[in-house]
Copies of this chain bind each other. A is one copy, B any other.
Amino acid sequence: MPSAYEAFHKAIREIGQLGSIEGLLDWDSETIMPDGGLSARAEQISLIATLAHERRTSPTLGELIEQLDSRVDDPIEQSNVSEARRMYERASRVPAELVTRLSRVSVLAKEAWGKARAGSDFPAFAPHLSELVNIKRHIADLIGYKGERYDALLDEYEPGMTSAQVEEVFTALRGPLCEFVRRLAHAPRKPDSSVLHRNFPRAAQESFARHLAEAIGFDFSRGRLDVSKHPFCGGTGPADVRLTTRYYEDFIAPSVFGVLHEAGHGIYEQGLPEAHMFTPAGQAVSLGIHESQSRLWENFVGRSREFWEGMYGACQRAFPDALGSVSLDAFHGAINTVSPSLIRVEADEVTYNLHIILRFEIERALIGGTLEVRDIPAAWNGKMRELLGVSPPNDAQGCLQDIHWSAGMFGYFPTYALGNLYAAQFFEAALRAIPNLRDELRRGQFAPLLAWLRENIHQHGMRYRAGELVHRVTGAPLTVEPFLRYIRTKFAPIYGLNIT
């Protein structure tokens, strides 16, 4: 007879295996699947999702969790049981019909969103969005929450985090960030990003992107790099991690920083403990922690002067026509221009979090019931002026720009900004722990930083919730100071400002 934990372990591993199979089905459909395969693929994914849902909500699993909850001592076993409980409760409180309805409504909503965005026609999308908001409110009420309804949705992406906590850090961030953006706008010096828009042949971009990913520690014997319309990091587990990117021959930034970003995600995945593969103990903490790893490599490392001191020679050799006569300083300035803009995915690292604060405030009010769907455009445009000082000329470049809401993903946006804040706090801790880190980066030596991340973050899988992990790694709770210090210290010299 297997022990209760063995039976439990087998059950949760199977759920994890189904998830990893879905990972391959998704990756394939986004990258290399022939167009004709679409409808069969939808059925395959739906079958796997149904099988996983059945297992996640199985009464047998519920009983095993109940039986084990207070009895396991081993920290690995504890993290598996506690995450399985969260998963079981979230899934079993929502009837299957509602899950099916959400998925059906969302398919139509995504289609309607695509058309509405193309025609900048918010009213055409509004009825779909209202239906999704109503379903998600209902789901949140079924799942339950301590503070407010939005917490139940946020918990899906950032387990343990509450709206009140997010509000606290966003409030602390908002004023100083707006102030700093204003200072940059009136700065004596402005870097010029036009050199990034010269001609960058695709083949050279491909090999340089691969070189970068490899240099920072992405292991290609346990991963791939391919092309997709929307870049992502997918795959089926720590030993099969698949990055995607896109190449524009007239713009180098998307492939270079896109690949550093996705490789950051990928390096985290590759560092998760393979012994616990397919179980929570072998999985990422949260979307926010995941994003901290991608942002750390993309921005804190990848947009630093030290990084390019070591790497710019190779970059010039890869693109001699475009960059042969561009100085390191000019290039470093070009990749660090700050400018309030309309589109989140194109935003620089200073203004990015303001785009997120806006979305958090709107979706929290929508779910809480204090904002109606029809009032979104006005709220959006008002907040854009307030936070960034820009006015969207239409809803396509305003509240219709992101796909998330059309997919029913409310509570997802904050994790992007949390990722930036976690990254800053982790990076400060790494600088303390590795005193010569900046020199190492200058020499293209990324192994010490990688080893520190492996040791302090990756190897733990889901053992600690995000807040607990941040405290353990940095000795302090999540705070906005490291991020504010980082941007001030970094951008002041580029823009010719005194650091105050």
Contacts and interface: CB of A to CB of B under 8 A. Distances in A.
Copies of this chain: 2
Interface in A1-54: 14, 17-18, 20-21, 24-25, 28, 32-41, 43-44, 47-48, 51
Interface in A402-456: none
A256 interface: no
B25 A44 contact: no
B34 A221 contact: yes
Interface in A203-256: 219-224, 235-237, 239-240
A14 B223 contact: no
A289 interface: no
B240 A47 contact: no
Contacts of A25: 21, 24
Given A21-B21, A24-B28, A40 B236 contact: yes
A43 B14 CA distance: 10
A277 interface: yes
A33 B239 CA distance: 10
A69 to B, nearest CB: 26
Given A24-B24, A25-B21, A25-B24, A40 B239 contact: yes
Given A25-B24, A44-B17, A36 B236 contact: no
B220 A41 contact: no
Contacts of A221: 34-36
Question: Which of the four size classes fits the interface of chain A?
Answer: 35 or more
Contacts of A237: 37, 40
A415 to B, nearest CB: 26
A47 B237 CA distance: 15
Interface string A149-162: 00000000000000
Contact of A239 (B39, B51, B224, B278): B39
Q: By DSSP majority rule, is chain A's interface helix, strand, loop, or mixed?
A: helix
A169 to B, nearest CB: 37
Contacts of A277: 40
- Interface-centre pick from A17, A39, A240, A277 (highest chain B CB count, 10 A): A240
Nearest to A21: B44
- Interface-centre pick from A37, A220, A224 (highest chain B CB count, 10 A): A37
A14 B54 CA distance: 15
Contacts of A17: 43-44, 47
Contacts of A28: 24, 28
Interface in A131-149: none
Nearest to A27: B28
Contacts of A235: 37
A20 B41 CA distance: 9
A428 B18 CA distance: 48
Contact of A236 (B37, B48, B278): B37
A404 to B, nearest CB: 28
A221 B14 CA distance: 34
Contacts of A51: 51
A240 B21 contact: no
A47 B18 contact: yes
A45 B398 CA distance: 45
Contact of A37 (B38, B44, B48, B240): B240
Contact of A41 (B40, B224, B236, B278): B236
Interface of A: 14, 17-18, 20-21, 24-25, 28, 32-41, 43-44, 47-48, 51, 219-224, 235-237, 239-240, 277-278
22 contacts: A20-B40, A20-B44, A21-B21, A21-B25, A21-B44, A24-B24, A24-B28, A32-B224, A34-B221, A35-B221, A36-B219, A36-B221, A36-B239, A37-B222, A37-B236, A37-B240, A38-B239, A40-B237, A40-B239, A40-B278, A43-B278, A51-B51
Sorted from nearest, which 5 A-B pairs have the closest CB atoms? A37-B240, A36-B222, A36-B239, A40-B237, A17-B47
Given A33-B240, A36-B223, 19 more contacts: A18-B47, A20-B40, A20-B44, A21-B25, A21-B44, A21-B47, A24-B44, A28-B28, A32-B32, A34-B222, A34-B223, A34-B239, A36-B240, A37-B239, A38-B239, A40-B236, A40-B237, A40-B239, A51-B51
